[in-house]
Structure 1
Amino acid sequence: MRRKFGQSLRLGIAPDGLALLRVGGWPTASAVVLAVQPVEAGAPDALENGLRALLSAAAEDGLRRWPLTVVLADDLVRLWQVAPPQGASRPGDLQAACALRFQSLFGAMPANWRISADWSARAPFLAAAAPEALLALLEALAREHGFYLVEVAPQFVAAMNATRRQRRPGAWFGLVHGDVLSLAAYDGAALAAVRTAVIPPGADREWLEAHVAREALRVGVGRPERLQLSGPAPRGWASSAGRLKFACTLLEDEDPAPGWPLHAVLARTGAKA
């Protein structure tokens, strides 16, 4: 398949499925689902076998030498907030603080995880860790089948990066994916925590307001003046007359991919098309 200017591939990886998209293009960008493949969650080697089959088929379809971005479902990764130690002056100080915080939260040192972060010696920062074995597999398969592996990112991080210019200082950021709401809680301009919760069926604006208030208490920060949400959030969550506890902005005016499989929506997170 001949690649047009600006086109690339996006691969979504979740414990129970995979999706491959073609995105971008000029002068009009678009997103097309190329493949969706279920995976038996938790079965030995199921994810590896699924990835091998999917990328092998894509290469045979003429997609070799295409740029490939990978979006990992958040339940495959670890996300956490790190407060830099006082007097930190070297990258090693921040890396050590990051590893100790990982151990405190998840009960083990991150020996089998690859960590990336918005490293900062001046303010709390977001860190993410992905399984080393999964990243090594992706790198090996990309080399084997001739893809240019551009980036591997957790879904929450991909959504945050894509909406960075739209976000207001001090506002909380949230991502809706399926029946899960993930929140980045801020204390002023400083990241305070990343929290995830299941959205109950029929959750309305009152549920959202109560949930945000509870999370603010748990984290120990004030309730935000504004919440900015990415993903297909319920329309009723947006700010309306009489809603005074906090403003809520939906960063997508409408569902950008109505009727798409959930794994395809995962793969599309952060794409411009």
Structure 2
Amino acid sequence: MRRRIGQSLRIGLAAHGAALVRTGRMLGGEPLALAERHADLTAPDGIVNAVGALFADDLAPAGWPVTVVLADELVRLWQVAPPPGASRMGDLQAAAALRFQHLFGGALGDWRLSADWDAARPFLAAAAPASLLAQLESAARTHRFHLVEVVPQFVAAMNAWRRERRSGAWFGLVQGGVLSLAAYEGRSLAAVRTAVIPDGADRDWLEAHVAREALRVGVGRPERLQLCGAAPSGWASSIGRLKFACTLFESDASEGQQGWTELARLARTGSAA
């Protein structure tokens, strides 16, 4: 597989499989799905084996820059409120670790932490299993590609649409029948919430769900919801819908989503193209 200037590879990893996508800024820059494998990635060496299987069809990745997008089921995401008077990175790290233990019932010992560190307002933190990252680093050495980034899908989506997001709006991602929401109070992140989307969920369900989440988090209902991923087209704003506006950056019927499997969509999340 010969690389052209501006091209890179993206691997999407979920508990049930992996996908490989090529992206680039040249010749229109449309992402191209290259390979997909279904396997149990939670098994010992499951990730190493799955990544190797992606390159089995003469897709030699040596020298290529590779970004890995992790399904949110493989990671932990949570909101951290900085302690009053925090002035050192250690203060923020301790707050993130304590919040992790409170939410997930265990210490951070076997997880690797990253965050949008901010001493002035609540920030988003993420943790990935150290064993998962070690397998990715092993795969990079074996196949001689450059592992440039490992990012949770929700974080990749937030970064990709950062310039489009409006102040005070909630942001969401629809992937694999799950809705993940970043709830905001003004400019401050209030919580990250996920929920399984029931079959046939319409705009009424969405409005009721957002209202419930606002109550649970203890913030006001947003004036606007901005969603990416395979969101049902019926969730978009329409005449008579006054509770909140809903903008779909993508939808299940959009041209950019058609013909793409869930694993391939995972891999392309956050790509510039």
Q: Would you say same fold, with TM above 0.5?
A: yes
Q: CA deviation at 1:52?
A: 3.4
Q: Sequence identity of aligned pairs in percent? A: 67
Letter aligned with residue 261 of structure 2: P
| Counterpart in the other structure of 1:29 | 29
User: Residues of 2 paired with 1:172 and 1:226: CA distance?
Assistant: 7
Q: CA deviation at 1:47?
A: 3.4
The answer (yes or no) to whether the contact 1:186–1:193 under 8 Å persists in 2 is: yes
The answer (yes or no) to whether the contact 2:47–2:132 under 8 Å persists in 1 is: no
Q: Secondary structure at the match of 2:60?
A: helix
User: Residues of 2 paired with 1:152 and 1:85: CA distance?
Assistant: 28
| Counterpart in the other structure of 2:161 | 163
Q: Would you say 1:187 and 2:185 are equivalent positions? A: yes
Distance 1:265 1:201, change over 3 A: same
Q: Secondary structure at the match of 1:228?
A: strand
User: Residues of 2 paired with 1:80 and 1:63: CA distance?
Assistant: 33
| Counterpart in the other structure of 1:135 | 133
Q: Cα deviation per residue 1:104-143 (whole Å; 9 max; x = unaligned)?
A: 1111110000010000000000000001111111112112
The answer (yes or no) to whether the contact 1:232–1:255 under 8 Å persists in 2 is: no
The answer (yes or no) to whether the contact 1:231–1:255 under 8 Å persists in 2 is: no
Q: CA deviation at 1:70?
A: 0.3
| Counterpart in the other structure of 1:52 | 52
Q: Secondary structure at the match of 2:257?
A: coil
Q: Secondary structure at the match of 1:126?
A: strand
When the two chains are superposed, the root-mean-square deviation of aligned CA atoms in Å is: 1.4
Q: CA deviation at 1:86?
A: 0.4
Letter aligned with residue 177 of structure 1: Q
Q: Secondary structure at the match of 1:191?
A: strand
The answer (yes or no) to whether the contact 1:15–1:47 under 8 Å persists in 2 is: no
Q: Secondary structure at the match of 2:114?
A: strand
Q: Would you say 1:238 and 2:215 are equivalent positions? A: no
The answer (yes or no) to whether the contact 2:61–2:143 under 8 Å persists in 1 is: no
Q: CA deviation at 1:44?
A: 4.1
- The worse-fitting range, judged by mean Cα deviation, of 42-51 and 263-272 is 42-51
TM-score by length of 2: 0.95
| Counterpart in the other structure of 1:261 | 261
TM-score by length of 1: 0.95
- The worse-fitting range, judged by mean Cα deviation, of 162-171 and 62-71 is 62-71
| Counterpart in the other structure of 2:174 | 176
Q: Where does 1:36-185 land on structure 2 (aligned, <5 Å)? A: 36-40=36-40, 42-55=42-55, 57=56, 60-185=58-183
Q: Secondary structure at the match of 1:62?
A: coil
User: Residues of 2 paired with 1:39 and 1:195: CA distance?
Assistant: 27
Distance 1:96 1:255, change over 3 A: farther
Q: Would you say 1:15 and 2:15 are equivalent positions? A: yes
User: Residues of 1 paired with 2:2 and 2:77: CA distance?
Assistant: 37
Q: Secondary structure at the match of 2:198?
A: coil
Q: Cα deviation per residue 1:219-258 (whole Å; 9 max; x = unaligned)?
A: 0000000000011111110111000000000012625131
- The worse-fitting range, judged by mean Cα deviation, of 39-48 and 174-183 is 39-48
Distance 1:70 1:213, change over 3 A: same
| Counterpart in the other structure of 1:208 | 206
User: Residues of 2 paired with 1:255 and 1:192: CA distance?
Assistant: 33
The answer (yes or no) to whether the contact 2:48–2:139 under 8 Å persists in 1 is: no
Q: CA deviation at 1:41?
A: 5.8
The answer (yes or no) to whether the contact 2:236–2:246 under 8 Å persists in 1 is: yes
User: Residues of 1 paired with 2:143 and 2:49: CA distance?
Assistant: 14
User: Residues of 1 paired with 2:190 and 2:14: CA distance?
Assistant: 27
User: Residues of 2 paired with 1:54 and 1:232: CA distance?
Assistant: 24
Q: CA deviation at 1:31?
A: 1.2
The answer (yes or no) to whether the contact 2:14–2:74 under 8 Å persists in 1 is: yes
Q: Cα deviation per residue 1:188-222 (whole Å; 9 max; x = unaligned)?
A: 11000000000111110000000000000000000
